[in-house]
Amino acid sequence: MEHNPLVASLINRLIRFIAQALGFRLHADPLPTHLIMALIVTVILVIFFKLTVRNLSLFPKKMQTLLETLYLFLRNHVDDTIGPDGRKFIPALGTLGLFIALANLIGLFPEMSSPTSNINVPAGCAIFTFLYYHAQGVKKHGFFGYLKTFTGPAWWLSWLFAPIEIISQFSRPLSLTVRLFCNIYGEDMVIIIITTYLVSFIAPLPMMALAIFTSLLQAYIFIMLASVYLAGAMASEH
């Protein structure tokens, strides 16, 4: 069952109260926990960037320095993976990476849960990535030109290469989904078991420290694979 943190319960109670005031009766929680937590992560990121970027200066403060460091890290990664032309993908990749990172980490706070520990959220991120890099490939090569990249080096080998490429393409979102979901779900379950059945304060600390590292690592792996897929879509041949 999905862990139901206090903040999700309060939001659902508020929605039910408003619905009853309007004459509607809701017998179940109107919003699932993972959706509420995903919306909270989104709101946190929007507020954070709104507050941070409005006071940019030539001599950056701590938060501006952090953001510039993250941007340079992502820019160098995109340059190495896709090339300088890939910098136009930084907004999409950066937004996706920050969302996944914060969604992974938020479950480490009391009375919160990671939306990525529910398979629907990783699946949504994977489907977005799948559609995005294919859309960029079609945008660059044209629809039929992009389809030709799946037929192999020679047209007479298309009967062999096309099925392999189709299977490979559709396995990518599945791989992205399962990898992210299993890692974060496993971390959350281990921490819950330790805090519930073992020492509730000291014992979880090493696991939580490891969870911080793996949460950031999983976000990076997701972005790294998305960049590789974009590089393949933008290339003339696979």
Contacts 24+ apart (CB under 8 A), 168-172: 169/130, 169/134, 172/126, 172/129, 172/130, 172/225, 172/229
**Which pLDDT value is given to residue 147?**
81
Chain centroid to CA 198: 31
Cα-based distances in Å from 211 to 4, 128, 214, 232, 233: 20, 25, 5, 31, 33
What distance in Å separates the CA atoms of residue 100 and residue 107, rounded to the nearest whole number?
12
Chain centroid to CA 27: 32
**Which pLDDT value is given to residue 203?**
57
- Can you list the alpha helix ranges (DSSP code H) found in the chain? 6-21, 33-53, 62-81, 90-105, 120-141, 143-148, 158-197, 204-234
**Which pLDDT value is given to residue 238?**
47
**Which pLDDT value is given to residue 159?**
67
**Which pLDDT value is given to residue 155?**
65
Q: What string of pLDDT tens digits covers the 238 residues of the chain?
A: 556 777 888 888 888 888 888 887 777 778 888 899 999 999 999 998 888 877 777 777 787 888 888 999 999 999 999 988 889 999 999 999 999 999 999 988 877 889 999 999 999 999 999 999 999 999 998 888 888 877 766 666 676 777 888 888 899 999 999 999 998 888 877 777 766 665 555 556 677 788 888 999 999 999 999 999 999 888 855 4
**In 3D, which of 201, 208, 218, 202 has the Cα closest to residue 101?**
218
**Which pLDDT value is given to residue 228?**
94
